[in-house]
C-alpha cells in the first residue's frame, strides 16, 4: 500500500513538474475568487494607499525626472573618465562626453548624473588652471596697445627735476634725458600689450568653461610631456578647431587631489 502511494506521489510530482497543472489551477482559482476576499492586513494597506495616491496625483508627479537645474552637460550627456596609470599621478587622463538619446535625457539615472556632476567639476577645475596659447591674440593686442600708448610719448628734453626732492639732481636728470620718447612709448606699449593679452585669455577661458558646461565639448585630453602636461579639447561641432593648453604638474596634482610629495620630479 505504501509503495502504491509512493508511486502515486512521485507520478503526481513528475506530472506537475512537466505541466504545472496544479499551480495553474490554483492560480486560476485565486484570481477568480480575489474580488470576494476581504482586503485586510499590512500588505493590503500598502497596496490600497498606493492606488489612492495614483488616482489622486497627476501622472507628471509620479514619473521620476532629472532635476531641471542640472547643467546641460550633465543632464543630456553621459560622461566617462580614463586615466593611465590607474594609481598615483597619471601620465594621461581624459574626459569623454557621449550624448544621451532625447527620450532618456529626462529620466533619472542616478549613476549617470552623479558621475556626470563629478566629471563636470573636474573639467571646470582643469580649464580654470589651463594656460592657453596667446599667439592668436598677440597681434591684435599689440595693435590696440599701440593705439592706447600713442599719447604717452613724452618730450623728455623738457623734463625738469625738483632739486629739493632729489639731492643728486644732475645724475637723475641725465638718466631721464638719456631715455628717448620712443623707448618710454615702447615700454608703455609692452605693458598695455601684456594687460590686454591677459584679458583676452581670461575671456577665452571663461568662454571655454561655458562651452563645457553647455555640453558643446566632446573630448578633453591631458597628456604628460617633459616637465608639463599638454592638453587639448575637441568640440562636438567638427567645424570648430580644437584648443590646446598646458598645465603644470602642480596644477594636475591639485586638480586630482594629490599631495606635492606624490608629484613626479
**Per-domain residue ranges of the chain:** 2-62, 65-265
Q: Of 35-44, 132-141, 194-203, give the lowest mean pLDDT range.
A: 35-44
pLDDT (0 to 100) of residue 147: 79
Res 68 pLDDT > 70: no
pLDDT (0 to 100) of residue 27: 61
Mean predicted confidence (pLDDT) in 116-123: 95
Res 60 pLDDT > 50: no
For residues 248 and 254, the answer to whether their CB atoms sit within 8 Å is no
pLDDT (0 to 100) of residue 186: 73
| Confidence at 103, pLDDT banded by 50, 70, 90 | confident
C-alpha cell at 200: 583676452
pLDDT (0 to 100) of residue 138: 87
Of 98, 92, 85, 95, the residue nearest 124 (C-alpha):
95
User: CB under 8 Å to 54, separation ≥6 — which residues?
Assistant: 62
Q: What is the pLDDT of residues 195-238, one digit of tens each?
A: 889 999 999 999 999 999 999 999 999 999 888 999 999 999 99
| Confidence at 156, pLDDT banded by 50, 70, 90 | very low
Mean predicted confidence (pLDDT) in 166-181: 53
The rounded distance, in Å, linking the Cα atoms of 121 and 220 is 13
C-alpha cell at 246: 598646458
Amino acid at each position: 500500500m505504501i509503495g502504491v502511494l509512493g508511486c502515486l506521489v512521485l507520478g503526481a510530482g513528475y506530472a506537475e513538474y512537466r505541466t504545472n497543472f496544479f499551480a495553474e489551477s490554483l492560480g486560476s482559482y485565486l484570481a477568480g475568487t480575489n474580488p470576494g476576499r476581504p482586503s485586510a492586513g499590512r500588505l493590503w494597506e500598502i497596496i490600497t494607499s498606493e492606488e489612492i495616491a495614483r488616482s489622486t496625483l497627476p501622472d507628471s508627479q509620479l514619473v521620476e525626472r532629472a532635476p531641471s537645474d542640472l547643467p546641460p552637460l550633465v543632464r543630456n550627456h553621459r560622461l566617462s573618465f580614463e586615466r593611465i596609470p590607474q594609481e598615483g599621478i597619471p601620465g594621461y587622463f581624459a574626459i569623454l562626453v557621449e550624448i544621451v538619446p532625447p527620450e532618456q535625457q529626462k529620466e533619472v539615472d542616478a549613476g549617470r548624473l552623479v558621475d556626470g556632476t563629478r566629471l563636470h567639476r573636474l573639467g571646470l577645475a582643469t580649464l580654470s588652471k589651463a594656460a592657453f596659447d596667446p599667439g592668436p591674440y598677440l597681434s591684435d593686442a599689440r595693435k590696440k596697445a599701440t593705439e592706447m600708448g600713442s599719447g604717452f610719448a613724452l618730450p623728455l628734453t623738457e623734463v625738469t627735476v625738483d632739486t629739493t626732492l632729489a639731492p643728486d639732481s644732475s645724475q637723475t636728470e641725465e638718466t631721464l634725458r638719456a631715455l628717448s620718447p620712443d623707448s618710454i612709448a615702447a615700454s608703455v606699449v609692452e605693458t598695455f600689450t601684456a594687460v590686454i593679452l591677459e584679458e583676452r585669455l581670461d575671456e577665452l577661458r571663461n568662454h571655454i568653461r561655458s562651452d563645457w558646461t553647455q555640453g558643446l565639448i566632446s573630448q578633453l585630453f591631458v597628456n604628460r610631456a617633459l616637465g608639463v602636461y599638454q592638453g587639448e579639447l575637441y568640440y562636438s561641432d567638427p567645424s570648430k578647431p580644437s584648443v590646446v593648453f598646458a598645465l603644470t604638474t602642480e596644477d594636475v596634482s591639485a586638480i586630482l587631489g594629490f599631495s606635492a610629495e606624490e608629484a613626479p620630479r
